[in-house]
Amino acid sequence: TRTGFTAGGRVRLSARLATTFTYSRDQVELAGSVLSLENGVLKVIDGNQSRQPILGVTSYSETLYVRHADSVAFLSKGRFNYDDVNDWGHLPRNSQTRDMLTIGSRVLVPTDKGLSVLRGMTWSTLTGEEGLCYEDTTCVAEGFDRDYWVGTTRGAIRAVGDEFHYFGYDRWIPDERVNAIACGDNVTYIATDGGLGIISFEPYTLQKKSEYYKRWINEWGMRRLGFINELILRDDGTYIRYLSDNDGGWTCHYLDALCYEYAVTRDPEVKAEAIDTFRTIKWCEEICPMVGFPARAIYAVGEEAIKTEGGSAGRAAEWNLTEDGKWEWKGDTSSDEVASHYYTLFIFYELVAKEDEAVEAAAVEHIQRITDHIIDNGWVLRDYDGKPTVWARWDRDFIFDHEHHDEYALNSAQAMNIIEIARHMVGGEKYDQAKQQLIEWGYPEMTLRTKIVFPGYTHFDDRLAFLGYYPLLTYESDPKLRPWYMRSLQRSWEAKRFENQTWFHYIYGALTGNEMRSEAAIDHLRQYPLDCRDYAFTNSHRDDLQVPEGFRNYVTDTKAMGPREQGIRRWDRDPLQLDGGGSHGILDPSSYLDAYWMGRYYGMILAPETDDPELLTVEKRNLQLGAKPYDGPPRPDLGF
């Protein structure tokens, strides 16, 4: 039962039962009676009168229950019975009730110390230990799909089965404090101090969501010259493309998705886009005057874009002008970019390139040029100034340097991956000898502790590790080396598995055939929001941050956050980050595309069991919503 009042003081009823109050001089005075609306006339039930203000009424077990500020009673024989409400349990000590609602076999009572539940004559209270996201609750409403919603002073919560889903400010609602909630058909209205938040749920298959994100990338102007770029929101409300440290690397994930999608669908348009995107990846190497050195990013002189100003280890960005004056390429390339190129070329070569002789030759050449550069320069990338870059180093001096002790395992694994891909795709005695040299240096054994948990922790290194595991364990057949790599993978997976990040799950599953928590991986994709804006998120205040039973967080003492709580994130982003975001720029959804189509390829995600186009694809539109279309010079012809 709900009651309300208008600005003129008239009582507004939304049900047949209500408490009474008087309205005078902008004040509401609550009375102690329960009324029934009968034939248009309000009548006091049983002549009852409570000495405490009645704040709410609900019907439960054919009995009227009333809520006071700190207690609950039921109406019997004209009096309020407090003694027979419960035999077991109680409301939280010194708590304040905020609302009351009957749903099926229970009465839900939000309090400032959790959500209390009355079943029969037993009180219990849901708190953070039971998974309730925040305990200072304010209101409750029945949902639209066997669920219910709870308002709190810091966000809204949806209860679905045994799960609680958190909807916080500012992605989901316009302010933190929730005052009231109402639900309609697949929609929830949330009244906050800052206005009304509306959360709508639309029927989507995972495949349709994939099509949606591809449309988003195009409509928002995130593609230029074959690259994928995120967008920055400017002060005037317009968007502009951001050229980052690793444009090539992030575009690789988009190319991965196209390769897997083509392998599943055999769509010639997808294949053509994959080949075109590969041309951009190859261009990153061909634009540089040093053969085999891949640029981080490429800028067309005069184009409307923001170039990153930062470089490695706190240095300024190294943007270099080409001889013709048309382009700038970003140097000081790190191992991040190299790892991305090798991982993606492995997938592209196996799933797309082999079908076209010219494309296959270009892919092989790309790997050969980079590998030869690394080996010929003593296992480093040597920059325009003739010096090794800061982080693209796999040489013995770097690996065994105490200052870089944290990187020794990861960089050893990367070196083994580089040479194994080159041996498989290119072949030749040069690479066999280089592999033997790495073995003599002890690199395979040093891959064991690739996952870093102490003394520092960087989630982006986890991405680099899994970029290497996938090709290395696919191509390596030596029974003396595989155990080292497999033990390294198992060690890393044990530390990663509680994070529920789909891409990591699928790589582990593909390499081992072991159980990899498939439902959690799929749920992670379900959580991806359709809006790719970078909203602020805050979770550090929550009461449900404990690590789930059966898992261990080797870095800190909280559980991981998902896309519902953090928003769109690339696979290098930290799922343990509780607070962040807020730029309101446009984030790259390629992470979803990569993981979804990889899952489809390996059968970890099944095709939708429908032929309804409304559930499989999205309408094609000719919209320009974000950055202006690129209008600079075209990418050079690469000859294939």
Per-residue pLDDT reduced to its tens digit, 349-363: 999 999 999 999 999
Nearest to 5 by CA among 30, 32, 23, 25: 23
Q: What is the pLDDT of residue 39?
A: 74
Banded pLDDT at 46 (limits 50, 70, 90): low
Banded pLDDT at 59 (limits 50, 70, 90): very high
Q: What is the pLDDT of residue 172?
A: 98
Q: What is the pLDDT of residue 72?
A: 98
Banded pLDDT at 65 (limits 50, 70, 90): very high
In the Cβ-directed half-sphere of 638, how many Cα atoms lie within 13 Å? Answer: 23
SS3 432: helix
Q: What is the pLDDT of residue 30?
A: 54
Q: What is the pLDDT of residue 19?
A: 52
**Cα R_g (the chain), whole angstroms:** 30
* pTM score, whole prediction: 0.93
Q: What is the pLDDT of residue 603?
A: 98
Q: What is the pLDDT of residue 47?
A: 59
In angstroms, rounded to a whole number, what is the distance separating the alpha carbons of residues 513 and 495? 18
Q: CATH number for 40-200: choose from 3.40.1030.10, 2.130.10.10, 1.10.10.10, 3.30.360.10.
A: 2.130.10.10
In the Cβ-directed half-sphere of 516, how many Cα atoms lie within 13 Å? Answer: 25
In angstroms, rounded to a whole number, what is the distance separating the alpha carbons of residues 589 and 494? 26
DSSP designation for 334: -
pLDDT tens, 143-166? 999 999 999 999 999 999 999 999
Banded pLDDT at 454 (limits 50, 70, 90): low
Q: Which residue did the predictor score with more confidence, 116 or 15?
A: 116
- Residue 117: in which H helix or E strand, if any? strand 114-119
Domain boundaries defined on the chain: 40-200, 223-311+321-393
In angstroms, rounded to a whole number, what is the distance separating the alpha carbons of residues 502 and 492? 15
Q: Stretch 43-49: mean pLDDT, rounded? A: 67
pLDDT tens, 493-546? 999 999 999 999 999 999 999 999 999 999 999 999 999 999 999 999 999 999
Tokens of 415: 């070196």
What letter represents residue 113's amino acid? K
In angstroms, rounded to a whole number, what is the distance separating the alpha carbons of residues 336 and 312? 11
% of the chain at pLDDT higher than 90: 87
In angstroms, rounded to a whole number, what is the distance separating the alpha carbons of residues 599 and 507? 9
* Longest pairwise C-alpha distance within the chain: 99
Q: Are 19 and 55 in contact (CB under 8 A)?
A: yes
Q: Stretch 553-582: mean pLDDT, rounded? A: 96
Q: Cα dist. 166→202, 543, 545 in Å? A: 18, 11, 12
Banded pLDDT at 472 (limits 50, 70, 90): very high
Q: What is the pLDDT of residue 16?
A: 41
Tokens of 240: 């502009």
